[in-house]
Structure 1
Amino acid sequence: MNPHCSAVSIRPVMARWLSWCLALCLVVLAGCASGPNAHPRDPIEPFNRGVQRFNDGVDEAVLKPVATAYREVMPDLLRTGVNNFFANLRDLWSSVNAALQLRPQEAVENFMRFNVNTFLGLGGVLDVASELQIERTTLDFGQTLGRWGIPSGPYLVLPFMGPSTVRDAVGMGVEASGDLVMGMDHVPSRNSLYALRVVEARANLLRAGTMLDQAALDKYSFTRDAYLQRRDSQVRALIGRDDDAADE
């Protein structure tokens, strides 16, 4: 069978899936009334808990076993190269977001990192830029929206993707449309790289996931509060740096 014909193109599927998720969540939000004990930023908690149970089931059945086997079989040197490759792709998107946030220094640094690692680091497998002490600032489009005053909106658990907010979900949709992996024309290579990125990301979270299962009495509440606190802190840091620059 021709793999070019049988392989499923991830990019349009992801775009449709994100659009469907946002539409569904807006419908749920419109019809959901918060109870007296509801978290003020989580008005659709029953829906979100259901999605998290689904995600946990998929993780236990598929992602966690695959990620565990991947970590045990893959040599550390190769895993470092895989991490560097995908981090290099994120540097380019971080450069774009830094420019959108009017941060020329971070935009230039991340763009320099991408070029140095792409051309001198074998496509990003080697992190030459860090050896040259070129700073990395990881930024995403959800942070960019927050930097310009767009409110986060309610907490949202996305199928397969996990914790988010309405603002961050929109940001993920924009980033998916500009993802270099999803933009590849060769569908089998595109899907293979996407799967590798998912497995590598899950492998990096194995230890944290074990600690969370052992420490949290309510895994859902702990994850929600930690996610919202982290994202709020990131956006406040961006705005605070602008205030400091204005004072100077």
Structure 2
Amino acid sequence: MRHVRVIIAGVGLLLAAGCSVPGPGEAPDGIHDPNEAENRQVHGFNQRLDKVLVRGAGAGIAGGVPEGVQDSISNFADTVATPRYVVNQILQGRPGRATQNALRFTINATLGFAGLADVATDLGLPEDGTDFGETLHVWGAPEGGYVELPVLGPSTERDAIGQFVDYFTNPLDYIVPRPERYLGTVATYFDKLGSRGRHADTYDSVLHDSADSYAQLRLIYLQNRRFELDGTAGTDASFVDPEAIDTEGF
């Protein structure tokens, strides 16, 4: 399994090296969107999908599922994802954070009733998520152009590669048998739907009520992502608080 991850990491780095621009500093206003026409078509599809399927389901979960159950689903989704965080933090050369996440996983998987309760945060080990897109960033791979992915939503060339590689970097996928291994995916899906319902006003104002929802979502995503990676917004446009909205998928 270690060799598989090394190969995946090497392929991801090579692919990211081919991204279409070295970084946001070389693009007007810090936004490089060479495929805007195609991205807007995908954005229109995502808008329709959200309006027909996701928005109503999210409202149903937010309004019909008890808050405690929603919290348990969110905790379980985070616990299942934590081993992937550990792998990425090791690849990023951050052994301290990897160790803390490994301990966090162990505590929540045992004392937290298989991850349904977040005991680790109460013990001073808060959630510390990461992904292979950040790993590529740490390795010096360029951001590349902005892309909007079907269903998954806003991304960049580098982060799109990272999302693909992350499908293969969770050790639990190689340990837990079917069908149990899919419980984490289901929990993540319901967690995102619940988040969509709880923050319906914010999502709707961007996706369905703004004059140019594509440009607005693109700006929010890029600022949020750059703030996560290096603490700067990285654009010349008016700053949008990156903590104000979660734009990871719909």
Query: What TM bracket, shorter-length normalisation?
Result: 0.7 to 0.9
CA contact (8 A) 2:207 2:217 kept: no
Deviates more, 1:74-83 or 1:130-139: 130-139
1:230 to 211, 224, 227: 224
The 2-side partners of 1:104 and 1:227 are apart by: 28
CA contact (8 A) 2:58 2:194 kept: yes
The 2-side partners of 1:219 and 1:84 are apart by: 31
Taking only aligned residues, the RMSD between alpha carbons, in angstroms, comes to 2.7
**Deviation (angstroms), 1:39:** 8.2
**Deviation (angstroms), 1:155:** 0.5
1:186 to 170, 178, 195: 178
CA contact (8 A) 2:47 2:207 kept: no
The 2-side partners of 1:180 and 1:56 are apart by: 34
Which sections of structure 2, spanning at least 5 residues, go unmatched?
1-14, 21-27, 233-250
* Off by >4 Å, runs of 4+ in structure 1: 37-40, 179-184, 189-193
Aligned pair in 2 of structure 1 residues 196, 128: CA closer, same or farther (>3 Å)?
closer
Matched, 1:173 2:200: no
The 2-side partners of 1:185 and 1:156 are apart by: 34
2:129 to 138, 160, 164: 138
**Higher radius of gyration, 1 or 2:** 1
CA contact (8 A) 2:85 2:131 kept: yes
CA contact (8 A) 2:148 2:155 kept: yes
Aligned pair in 2 of structure 1 residues 122, 172: CA closer, same or farther (>3 Å)?
same
Written as runs of structure 1 = structure 2, the 5 A alignment for 1:1-248 is: 40-179=31-170, 185-187=177-179, 193-206=184-197, 207=199, 208-213=202-207, 216-237=210-231
The 1-side partners of 2:92 and 2:45 are apart by: 36
CA contact (8 A) 1:181 1:193 kept: no
CA contact (8 A) 1:182 1:194 kept: no
**Deviation (angstroms), 1:38:** 11
> Structure 2 length as normaliser, TM-score?
0.73
The 2-side partners of 1:142 and 1:104 are apart by: 18
1:93 corresponds to which letter in structure 2?
R
**Deviation (angstroms), 1:180:** 6.4
Aligned pair in 2 of structure 1 residues 39, 119: CA closer, same or farther (>3 Å)?
closer
2:42 corresponds to which letter in structure 1?
V
The 2-side partners of 1:225 and 1:67 are apart by: 24
Percent identity of the aligned residues? Answer: 29
CA contact (8 A) 1:181 1:194 kept: no
2:190 corresponds to which letter in structure 1?
V
Which sections of structure 1, spanning at least 5 residues, go unmatched?
1-21, 30-36, 239-248
Aligned pair in 2 of structure 1 residues 153, 116: CA closer, same or farther (>3 Å)?
same
Deviates more, 1:65-74 or 1:122-131: 65-74
